[in-house]
Amino acid sequence: MKGRMSKGSWRSTALLLAGLMGVTLLSAGPSWAVHGATPGDFNGDGYRDAVLPAPGADVAGRAGAGAVVVLYGSKSGLSAARRTTITQNSAGVPSSAEAGDAFGTATATADLNRDGYADLVVSAPYEDTAEGRNFGLVAVLWGSKGGLTTATQLPLPADTPSHADGARFGLDLAALSLGGGPKERVVVAGTDGTVSFNGPFSRTGTYGTRSVAQNTPSVASVTLGDFNGNATPSQALATVGLSDLSGGAVYAYPEYGDHPLKGNGFIAASGDVNGDGFADLVVGDPAEPHVAGVDGASGGRVLVWYGGSAGIAQDAEPVQITQNTAGVPGVSEKNDAFGGALAVADLNRDGLADIVVGTPYEGVAGKNRSGEVTVIPGRRSGALGAGSYSFSQFTAGVGGGNETDDFFGTTVSVGDVNNDGRPELFVGASGENNLTGAVWVFPGGASGPTAKGSRVFNAASVDLTQKSGTLLGGNGLHELI
């Protein structure tokens, strides 16, 4: 592949894109925060708890030190009154809150030590360490009857190439537990590649093995899935933008080779979209193409590679979905950023994973970049797109007010927090209220999430009171697209 983007040069590209699109970026703070954790039952009460990252939160006077807000699930759902806020100043959390650490940039949930309590993995990619400036830190907060009360640090490799802007380990995270030992896995992404930790894990900080993969350009997003049905998590990833592509290169099994798949994008997720028992790889490619029809689609696209008994074939042609695909609401328009956020989960309980797509720059009801989220149902056969539906702040029953530069759909995630078997949909909007951010919760219904009864948690409602830049819900791909 020619013209690879040099590691550490992502920010100039992001600033250029933002200038062209009229988007204001933070002068300091997280570069991107691709994935947010799905809800997990951290205290073992039978209800999953929601994770609201706030990587721009000020802590004890340290600007942008970062925080994570956990809202505890219950039969009645979520309440701001039932919450805990975790920072690096919290008892037991590694290091301490420092300006610009961006603790909470990426989060991931899994029961890593198989004790029946979900555990939370949290990154601070701008943590300065003995290894260098902006080297990064990743902590595991261990679930227990009392919740997330203890934590240990995952040891990141010091023998990685040195960059003036740091390795920034923890720009994205993925965690998956499909069984004991090597079937438990955490992958940490950064500008120097990925670091994989395999089980068995223990709450004292021990783990099975660690490996480093540096066969790709800087990594923007990583996911884990059982693509070949062997009940062992495999990683796939998307890199930062490259000079000869609209987005980044996409790799399946990057630890085994240096050959990208056909297609490109910035954010990766996995789930069984066609119900055949194998995880499928789904990638969001929200940037405008360099060459129309060759390396992207105007307005953005989502690509799907189907798994199988042999995994994902190197030469497989992905299925492409855009807002012009039959059944998908809306129309593809330049700079919509369809595919700017991504989650794959079964929302309607039909045994098929659905694709949740954020379009944070979509104009709705005359408000530029107010944002929208689209759900594309999984299908056992036939073309994806039929039965798709969308939510925005203009949708009846959705609060908050549809405003310019809200970026509704910056982040998306799915999880059942009231244990009724109907998963809730979580949508972040990083631009809401002067970039303090907000997260909407759409209750699960008989056939999927519904706007009726939806709730919004803004930064002030969870006692994060700074006037700007909190980024409750995470910053998503905002600075890459």
> Which residue ranges make up each domain of the chain?
50-462
pLDDT tens digits for range 157-192: 886 655 556 899 999 999 999 999 999 999 999 998
**pLDDT tops 50 at residue 295:** yes
Looking at residue 159, its pLDDT comes to: 65
**Residue in 260, 241, 297, 245 with CA at minimum distance from that of residue 32:** 241
Across residues 319-334, what is the average pLDDT? 97
What is the 3-state composition of the chain as percent helix, strand, coil, each rounded to the nearest 5? 5, 35, 60
pLDDT tens digits for range 46-72: 999 999 999 999 999 999 999 999 999
The helix (run of H) or strand (run of E) holding residue 21 is: helix 10-21
**pLDDT tops 60 at residue 27:** no
- Distance, in Å, from the CA atom of 327 to the CA atom of 92, rounded to the nearest integer, reads 50
Looking at residue 293, its pLDDT comes to: 74
Looking at residue 1, its pLDDT comes to: 29
Across residues 31-39, what is the average pLDDT? 73
Looking at residue 46, its pLDDT comes to: 97
- The CATH number assigned to the domain with range 50-462 reads 2.130.10.130
Across residues 306-320, what is the average pLDDT? 95
Residue 21 pLDDT level (bands cut at 50, 70, 90) = very low
**pLDDT tops 70 at residue 8:** no
**391 CB contacts (<8 Å, ≥6 apart)?**
372, 373, 398, 425, 427, 442, 449, 451
Across residues 17-39, what is the average pLDDT? 48
**pLDDT tops 60 at residue 33:** no
- Distance, in Å, from the CA atom of 236 to the CA atom of 211, rounded to the nearest integer, reads 15
Across residues 373-386, what is the average pLDDT? 97
Looking at residue 5, its pLDDT comes to: 29
Residue 81 corresponds to which amino acid? A
**Residue in 324, 248, 246 with CA at minimum distance from that of residue 289:** 246
Across residues 97-104, what is the average pLDDT? 97
What single DSSP character describes residue 26? P
Among 2-16, 27-41, 446-460, the range of highest mean pLDDT:
446-460
Looking at residue 215, its pLDDT comes to: 86
- Distance, in Å, from the CA atom of 160 to the CA atom of 240, rounded to the nearest integer, reads 18
With pLDDT > 90 as the criterion, what percentage of the chain qualifies? Answer: 81
Across residues 1-28, what is the average pLDDT? 30
**pLDDT tops 50 at residue 17:** no
Across residues 205-216, what is the average pLDDT? 94
**pLDDT tops 70 at residue 16:** no
pLDDT tens digits for range 461-474: 999 999 999 999 99
pLDDT tens digits for range 70-83: 999 999 999 999 99
Across residues 143-150, what is the average pLDDT? 97
pTM over 0.85? The answer is yes
What φ, ψ does residue 11 adopt, rounded to 5°? -65, -40
Chain center to CA of 11:
19
**pLDDT tops 90 at residue 377:** yes
Q: Contact 75/94 with Cβ under 8 angstroms?
A: no
**pLDDT tops 50 at residue 13:** no
Mean pLDDT, the chain, integer: 90
CA atoms within 13 Å, Cβ hemisphere of 336: 29
Backbone angle region of 193, left / alpha / beta, with phi > 0 → left and psi within -120 to 50 → alpha: left
> End-to-end CA distance of the chain, in Å?
22
Burial group, residue 294, by CB count within 10 angstroms (0-12, 13-18, 19+) = exposed
**459 CB contacts (<8 Å, ≥6 apart)?**
54, 57, 433, 436, 437, 438, 465, 466, 470, 472
